[in-house]
Amino acid sequence: MASSDVARKSGGAKSTGDAEKRTPIMVARSPSAIKEALLRWCQIKTRGYPNVNVTNFSSSWANGMAFCALIHHFYPDAFDFNCLDPKKRKENLELAFRVAEEQAGIVPLLEVDDMLMMGDRPDYKCIFTYVQSFYRQFRDAD
């Protein structure tokens, strides 16, 4: 396998139906391949959520909506996603981090205040590291 290859053991690389809902198991050898695979996993899990467009590990997460969508995907009864307002960054981040910790045991590696201070372009390394915690918790779900 080439160093940039990412193998999916999820029933093939089908683009529709159940195969896409299954979690990809990442076997990657390069940092860029790991990053791309995790980004794709996030895109699949947050697809269809309003005001969520995950294209990176920085600005896509700044208002908290992507975090809320990701945790809501796995805990849809924890809160009403449709009541969230993308302009209420602090509330969205607090909700996502709290539900992730209480429901899934994902320790918040980010502080809401730090996210707010970073503005519209949070540090991608911080986001990437925290999102890895979500992947590790949920990789076998769905």
Class of domain 31-138: mainly alpha
Q: Tell me, what's the pLDDT at 1? A: 39
DSSP at 129: H
Alpha helices in 60-139 (DSSP H): 65-74, 89-104, 112-118, 124-138
On the CB side of 103, CA atoms within 13 Å amount to 19
What lies within 8 Å, CB to CB, of 82 at 6+ separation is 50
Does the predicted model carry a pTM greater than 0.85? Answer: no
Query: What is the per-residue pLDDT for 30?
Result: 86
CB 8 within 8 A of CB 32: no
| Long-range contacts, 48-54 (Cβ 8 Å, 24+) | 49/73, 49/81, 50/81, 50/82, 51/84, 51/86
For each of the chain's 142 residues, which pLDDT tens digit applies?
Answer: 333 333 332 333 333 445 444 444 455 578 889 999 999 999 999 999 999 999 999 999 999 999 999 999 999 999 999 999 999 999 999 999 999 999 999 999 999 999 999 999 999 999 999 999 999 999 988 7
